[in-house]
Structure 1
Amino acid sequence: MRIHCYQHAAFETPGVLLDWAAHHGHTWTYTRLYEPGPQFPPTTDYDWLLVLGGVMGVHEEAEYPWLRNEKAGIQAAIGAGKVVLGICLGAQLLAEALGATVYRSPALEIGFWPVYPPAIAQQHPFVAPLPEPLTVLHWHGDAFELPSDAVPLASSAACAQQGFIFDNRVVGLQFHPELTPEILAAMLHHDGHELVPGPWVQSAAELRARAGELAPGNAFLLGLLDRLAAQTLR
């Protein structure tokens, strides 16, 4: 299987998806949006599209003009029936592509906080069973409404929509289940200035100390990938 990745920062890689893909013999290509002149391949060049996180917002097209082409690429992938997985900013871009509103969240959510799956998510064959609650790493200041006809996956105390599945193949996750301790350390190095004290913001020291708690989110993501792949390859 061929996976294409829209990557917004050099240090925010696909994380645990890399080992999962290598184990199953899947291949990678990239559009690296932090490099000059990013290219967006046609949908015939890949089977899955992965859209990662980043510091930019979905509405910042004036500052990041390539967002227009990225949005067009996401729309093309959805229209072509591809499996599309978006994480954090990627989820926000997917939500907008599906007609939902993306907005500034009332509070930053950065840290290890629990998410709670609704009953409908627990019954979905791609994600069930979910631990309740599932403690995962968050790092976002924007949020999105649930796209029409999408199945909600989870919510947190700070954010009503933490994920969705649309048409059993388009998945948006507001939280970061892909992270490794190394990526978290890099995010703290490059984006640590975003840790403005607030009710849902943990300190850099606490985040470093809790890096071992990334494992449950990793396990959730790997199970989701297996179920999506089983559908794609059958």
Structure 2
Amino acid sequence: MRVNILQHTPEEGPGAIRIWAHARGHQVYVYHPAQHGKLPSAAETDLLVVLGGPISPNDDAPWIAAERYLMREVMAAHKPIFGACFGAQQIAKLLGATVSPAPVKEVGWAPVTRQADVIPGLPAQLKVLHWHQDMFALPDGATRLFASEQIRNQGLVVNDNVVGLQFHLEVTEDNVHAMVVNDGDYVADSVLHQTAQSIETTPVPDENRAAMFQILDYITRS
């Protein structure tokens, strides 16, 4: 399987997604559309991963619209898509839902609660890393997968092959270090009231990687 990953900023890498892909014997290709303007074709994509970044699907950069066009083609071919943060917002916008500023800024570690039993084996609650201040409405036909105390739509499932998460389930310890040292000022004014240092020193829960693997196995039928 060819796993095509769209990465939008250096500090938000694929983390546990890359680990999963290598463990399953898949090939990984990482594209940087914001920097180089290049995207794979739908035909050469077996799994499309759309990562986060400091942009909005509502921005007018040409690559953002081009990325959604690719996602539409992949979805039409009933191939799997996983989106994290900005990637989840791209999925929602592609399906006609709104993406808008959230009433609060969520940055730091906080729990999300599972809202549906669509994907077998997911825990009822996970402590995850939030790094956002936008939110998406739930598109028609999508199932709400997770919610947090602050923001109701934290995850969505579409059919049996598309999942978007507003939070960062994919992060490893190294990813958290990179996000904090490069973008630590972003924690200011978060409703979670955590410091960059406390975020960086919080261990990534082992169950997060297991849940990430379960989601990817589900959408790829691994």
TM-score of the two chains, using structure 1 as the length reference? 0.90
* One-letter identity of the residue aligned with 2:191: P
Counterpart contact for 1:180–1:214, Cα < 8 Å: no
Q: Distance in 1 between matches of 2:77 and 2:216?
A: 19
Equivalences for residues 170-181 of structure 1 within 5 A: 170-181=162-173
Is contact 1:9-1:33 (8 Å) kept?
A: no
Which whole-Å CA distance do the structure 1 matches of 2:49 and 2:160 have between them? 15
- Structure 1 residues without counterparts, runs of 5 or longer: none
- Contact preservation (8 Å) 2:161, 2:218: no
Match among 133, 136, 139 for residue 131 of structure 2:
139
In structure 2, distance between residues paired with 1:227 and 1:71: 22
Aligned to 1:95: 92
CA contact (8 A) 2:47 2:220 kept: no
2:207 & 2:128 partners in 1: Cα distance? 7
- The answer as to 2:23 corresponding to 1:23 is yes
Structure-2 residue corresponding to 1:224? 215
- Note the C-alpha offset of 1:194: 1.0
Determine what percentage of the aligned residue pairs are the same residue. 34
Q: Is the 8 A contact 1:162 1:174 kept in 2?
A: yes
Partner of 1:108: 105
| RMSD value, Cα | 1.5
Write the letter of the residue equivalent to 1:215. D
| Cα distance in structure 1, aligned partners of 2:190 and 2:14 | 28
Amino acid at match of 2:104: A
Structure 2: stretches of 5+ with no match in the other structure = none
1:24 is matched by which residue type in structure 2?
R
Q: Answer whether contact 1:152 1:161 (CA < 8 A) is retained.
A: yes
The size of the alignment, in residue pairs, is 222
1:10 maps to 10
TM-score of the two chains, using structure 2 as the length reference: 0.94
- Code of the residue aligned with 2:63 in structure 1: it is W
Contact 1:150–1:165 (CA under 8 A) maintained in structure 2: yes
